[in-house]
């Protein structure tokens, strides 16, 4: 958890060192750790980072890194060009309650500032996760039957979206979800359905 990373990092910081550590789990990468990984935003000089990399990252954590573009092994280090954007990015999966929750540690930053950055963050995957939820919901609803009732399908999508999201659903998103359902999830196609689906896709 973030607390373990914090203990290692604090060997190379003072009480004035600004840092934020978050832990998250993703679906499509970091398979060797079941998706778990950490983000660290820290105010270090290059020589401090190099010492931490030598003593902790390679010797204790035994991470191998990846060599890219003719450069030696790298460990996900990036120069921060816009601190506020970076803070928002690493907070994108978090829910801030206080400074004692296990997947977030920070110093110097205030909780109020982090909440502000969290509110500004936008998790791109959220939209698609909700879309997946909509598909699963449609599969078990009465609209998943023959004959196709596009109006009922769209009403079902709209109802679920309003109840489960604070984001506005647009006409294009509604149509996209309808087409996705009809072409990927709907299992009762009959020959005359294809023309109805095509006419809907074409907006006729």
pLDDT of residue 39: 87
Q: What is the pLDDT of residues 52-91, one digit of tens each?
A: 999 998 899 887 766 655 555 667 777 787 888 888 888 8
pLDDT tens figures, 38-57: 889 999 999 999 999 999 98
Predicted local confidence at residue 62, as pLDDT:
83
Cα distances (angstroms) measured from residue 42 to each of 9, 10, 59, 92: 9, 11, 21, 17
User: Do the Cβ atoms of 2 and 22 come closer than 8 Å?
Assistant: yes
pLDDT in tens, 82-135: 888 888 888 876 655 444 445 788 999 988 888 778 767 655 445 557 888 888
Q: CA–CA distance from 132 to each of 57, 114, 169 (Å)?
A: 37, 29, 15
What is the pLDDT at residue 71? 55
């Amino acid at each position: 958890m973030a607390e373990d990373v914090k203990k290692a990092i604090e060997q190379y910081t003072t009480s004035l060192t600004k840092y934020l550590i978050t832990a998250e789990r993703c679906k499509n990468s970091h398979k060797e750790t079941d998706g778990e990984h950490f983000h660290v935003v820290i105010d270090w000089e290059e020589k401090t980072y190099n010492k931490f990399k030598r003593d902790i990252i390679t010797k204790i954590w035994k991470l191998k890194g990846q060599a890219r573009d003719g450069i030696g092994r790298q460990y996900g280090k990036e120069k921060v060009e816009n601190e506020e954007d970076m803070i928002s990015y690493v907070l994108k999966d978090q829910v801030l309650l206080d400074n004692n929750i296990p997947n977030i540690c920070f110093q110097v930053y205030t909780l109020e500032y982090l909440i502000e950055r969290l509110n500004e963050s936008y998790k791109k995957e959220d939209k698609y996760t909700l879309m997946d939820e909509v598909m699963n919901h449609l599969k078990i609803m009465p609209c998943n039957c023959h004959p196709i009732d596009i109006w009922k399908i769209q009403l079902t999508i709209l109802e679920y979206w309003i109840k489960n999201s604070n984001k506005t659903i647009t006409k294009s998103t509604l149509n996209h979800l309808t087409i996705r359902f009809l072409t990927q999830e709907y299992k009762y196609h009959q020959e005359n359905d294809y023309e109805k689906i095509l006419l809907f896709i074409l907006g006729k």
